[in-house]
Copies of this chain bind each other. A is one copy, B any other.
Amino acid sequence: MALIIQKFGGTSVANPEKIKAVAARVMKKAREGNSMVVVLSAMSGETNRFVDLAHQMQDHPDPREFDMLMATGEQVTIALFAMAVKAAGLDAISLLGDQVKIKTDSLHTKARIKEIDTDLIRKYHNQGKIVVVAGFQGVTEDDHITTLGRGGSDTTAVALAAALKADACEIFTDVEGVYTTDPNICNKARKIEKITYDEMLELASLGAKVLDIRSVSFAKRYKVPLHVRSTFTESEGTWVVEEDQQMESLPVSGVTYNKNEARITITKVPDTPGIASRIFSPIADAGIVVDVIIQNTHMDALTDMTFTVPSADYDQAMEIVAQIAKDINAESFSGDKDIAKVSIVGVGMRNHTGIATTMFKVLADEGINILMISTSEIKVSCVIEEKYTELAVRSLHDAFGLDQDNSKKTV
A75 in the interface (beta carbon within 8 A): yes
How many angstroms from the CA of A71 to the CA of B78 in the assembled complex?
A: 13
A43-85: CB near B (< 8 Å → 1, else 0) gives 0000000100110111101101110110110011011101110
- Which B residues lie within 8 Å of A78 (CB)? 68
Contacting pair A86 B65 (CB below 8 A): yes
Bound form: Cα–Cα A64–B92 in Å: 11
Q: A50-B76, A72-B72 are in contact. List 20 more A-B contacts (CB 8 A).
A: A20-B57, A54-B83, A57-B84, A57-B87, A61-B83, A62-B82, A64-B93, A65-B79, A65-B80, A65-B82, A65-B94, A66-B79, A68-B75, A68-B94, A68-B96, A69-B75, A69-B79, A69-B80, A72-B76, A75-B75
**A183 at interface (Cβ–Cβ under 8 A)?**
no
The CA of A19 and the CA of B56, in the complex, are separated in Å by 10
Point out residues on A near B: beta carbons under 8 Å: 16, 19-20, 50, 53-54, 56-59, 61-62, 64-66, 68-69, 71-72, 75-76, 78-80, 82-84, 86-87, 93-94, 96, 98-99, 143, 145
B58 near A86 with CB under 8 A, answer yes
Given the complex, which residues of B lie within 8 Å of A58, measured CB to CB? 83-84, 86-87
10 nearest interchain CB pairs? A69-B79, A57-B83, A68-B79, A72-B72, A16-B56, A58-B87, A58-B83, A65-B82, A65-B79, A57-B84
- Chain B min CB distance to A32 (Å): 23
Which residue of the partner chain B has the closest CB to A81?
A: B57
Residue of B nearest to A52 (CB): B16
CB distance from A42 to the nearest CB of B (A): 10
* 12 residue pairs bridging A and B, Cβ less than 8 Å apart: A50-B76, A54-B83, A58-B87, A61-B83, A65-B79, A65-B80, A65-B86, A65-B93, A68-B82, A69-B80, A98-B98, A99-B143
